[in-house]
Amino acid sequence: MNITIKENIGKAFSKFIGDDAYQIKNTLKIFEIIYDTGPSHISSVFNKDFCTYESVNILPPSDELIINTKTTYDIIIFVNLTDKNISLNKIFVQLLSALNDDGYFFLVTGNHKNNNTSPTPSEISNLSKLNHSRIVDHWFEKRGKDNEVYSIIRKTTNKNGWDGKPELELRHSLLDIPTHLSGPISPASEEEEKTRGKIPYLSFFDHIHKKISPQNYLEIGIRHGRSLAQAKCPSIGIDPTPDIKVTLENTIIYPNTSDDFFENIAPNILKNNRDLIFIDGMHLFEYALRDFINCELYSHESTLIIIDDIFPCHPRQALRKRDSQVWTGDVWKLIPCLKHYRPDLAMIAVDTSPTGLLLIINTSCENQTLNYEYNEIIDNFIYKQDPEPPESIISRQGIIDPDNNSLNILLNSISNGSIKSDQACKIIEELKLK
């Protein structure tokens, strides 16, 4: 099952329903039908304490679907990524008959290159009308290889959600995870909470800004705004729950998740001219990966992208579920991921405290490899295995001092636009992680 499906179902739930549904409906009744191989991760979107969840995986795919129409559901999810010629009309009739009058039907189909069996948006719209229902929203997933098509369908003509708000009004959901986690975290042992680095990362940021003098700056995960305050140029900060403690000048703050920002805001305000980008968002691999993918779309050949929290000092700090005050999550997986899928990128690790920085250069706004391989990447690095960080990460192998002379020369090359010069290329080869 593609991870993009889980993420998009989660997005649909957040957008149209929200966590209030668990109280409004008392017990949310959900039915999932999949024509696919492999396990489904969709159920993890929902709070199992407040819903009943039934799931059926039908192989081989058939339009002779049998569903217990004596039971009706609040949400029905139907996923068909196969290339089989199936009568969607027959399935529509059966599933809508099992949907509550005010329920939601999440339809996911694949737009396969090798066949013409997948319905077009207009065909889904016509099918909805024939079955006395309507499309609330419709979108395409650009990541992955399946070209997934998403349709949100309802039977009711009432264009309000269960909470009485208009269907398309923004709702709160626990799925909209902030870039930092609040709440009390009991300290682990001294060894498990240790940090190290030659200089604080904010000191290095001050140095970076002075050396390359960026014309613009973009930061994901601004929290108190202290790293954002290092910028002396027009800046953009993105964080769903900013808690600014410093004075910021010439800065626009977007209180959005980075996924929401890049989907709905960035296309209207950004160009591929970002000089300096800092990614310090949610400390989970898939979030950092998506942030990098989205940021690279707005890069140019001299763009410098910096990733925080790349070097945990103890395996406990790298757990996906936070269990220590010092927490990097599994952002470190970006290093082996980019080495494998994007060997054209140059990664330079800098020894800052508390958890190191990763500098990435040679970006390309046209390279779509990570987008195309997204489902495979997430599957390989999270679901097939979730390894502890290797010794090379814990010991910071290949890391360089912040005052490295070659690095300073390279930063000058970035500043004056000579990043492709012979000298710069030699320095990159010298400094990059092997």
388-407 pLDDT, tens digit per residue, is 999 999 999 999 999 999 99
Q: Sheet containing 217-220: which strands, arranged edge to edge?
A: 251-254, 235-238, 217-220, 274-279, 299-308, 357-361, 346-350
What per-residue confidence (pLDDT) applies to 112? 52
Residue 64 pLDDT > 80: no
The whole model's pTM is what?
0.90
Q: Is the dihedral of CA 225, 182, 203, 418 positive or negative?
A: negative
**Choice between 342 and 180, residue whose per-residue pLDDT is larger:** 342
Percent of the chain with pLDDT over 70: 90
What per-residue confidence (pLDDT) applies to 330? 96
Domains and CATH numbers, the chain: 3-154 (3.40.50.150), 199-431 (3.40.50.150)
* Whole-number average pLDDT of the chain: 89
The confidence band for 84, taking pLDDT boundaries of 50, 70 and 90, is low
Each residue of 222-263: pLDDT tens digit?
999 999 999 999 999 999 999 999 999 999 999 999 999 999
Taking a C-beta distance cutoff of 8 angstroms, is the pair 315, 394 a contact? yes
Residue 342 pLDDT > 70: yes
Residue 66 pLDDT > 70: no
**Choice between 291 and 149, residue whose per-residue pLDDT is larger:** 291
Task: Give the mean pLDDT of 314-323.
Answer: 93
The confidence band for 168, taking pLDDT boundaries of 50, 70 and 90, is confident
Distance CA 58, CA 95 (A): 14
Residue 181 pLDDT > 60: no
Each residue of 116-130: pLDDT tens digit?
556 777 888 898 999
Residue 176 pLDDT > 90: no
